[in-house]
């Protein structure tokens, strides 16, 4: 199973970029009805990220970043580089997706994906609003193209595995 999760806040301009990409991918791939791919809009709910990722073979997370770099800069980062256990807190509002990666691995062990990729797109405007800055549009298209390729590669790899498995089962039965 490939799980793709868009994170962010739709009411904070560029912070919505991960959610918007996930929603566009949902529209594209719902028609194809691939049972090997799940695409979620997890908004700002880190705990939901952890539970939606459970049982997946591969996980892709998309979110905005704010590092001071050029708006629209894309970072493709292996998940283990961003995993962080949360500081002790009594509020789930403090539990982010980077915490979900570390906690999910600790809690779910082998039932949590080892193959995690995070796409971060540098934001220009994180203020209140409903529009993504025009400077991010090329990055949105680029990340969507990369993820679409990852989906197609994953599905064709799994299709090959299923064909090889069926072929082996037939040979074993003969």
pLDDT tens digit sequence for 8-35: 999 999 999 999 999 999 998 876 667 7
- Which overall architecture, per CATH, does domain 2-173 show? 3-Layer(aba) Sandwich (3.40)
End-to-end CA distance of the chain: 30
Domain boundaries, the chain: 2-173
DSSP collapsed to 3 states, 27-96: HHHHCCCCCCEEEEEEECCHHHHHHHHCCCCEEEEEEEECCCCCCCCEEEEEHHHCCCCCCCCCCHHHCC
- What integer is the mean pLDDT of 108-134? 96
Q: What is the pLDDT of residues 35-66, one digit of tens each?
A: 789 999 999 988 899 999 999 999 999 999 99
The residue with greater pLDDT, 165 or 112, is: 112
Whole-model pTM over 0.95: no
C-alpha neighbours within 13 Å on the C-beta side of residue 20: 21
pLDDT classification of 89: cutoffs 50, 70, 90: low
Residue 67: what are its φ and ψ, rounded to 5°? -110, -5
């Amino acid at each position: 199973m490939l799980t793709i999760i868009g994170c962010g806040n739709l009411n904070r301009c560029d912070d919505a970029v991960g959610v918007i990409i996930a929603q566009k991918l949902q529209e594209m791939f719902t028609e194809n009805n691939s049972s090997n791919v799940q695409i979620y809009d997890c908004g700002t709910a880190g705990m939901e990220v952890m539970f939606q990722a459970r049982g997946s073979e591969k996980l892709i997370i998309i979110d905005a970043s704010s590092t001071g770099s050029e708006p629209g800069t894309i970072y493709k980062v292996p998940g283990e580089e961003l995993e962080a256990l949360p500081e002790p807190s009594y509020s789930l509002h403090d539990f982010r997706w980077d915490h979900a990666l570390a906690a999910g691995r600790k809690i779910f062990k082998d039932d949590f994906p080892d193959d995690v990729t995070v796409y971060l797109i540098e934001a220009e405007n994180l203020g209140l609003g409903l529009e993504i800055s025009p400077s991010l549009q090329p990055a949105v298209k680029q990340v969507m193209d990369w993820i679409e390729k990852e989906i197609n590669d994953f599905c064709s790899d799994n299709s090959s595995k299923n064909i090889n498995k069926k072929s082996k089962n037939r040979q074993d039965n003969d």
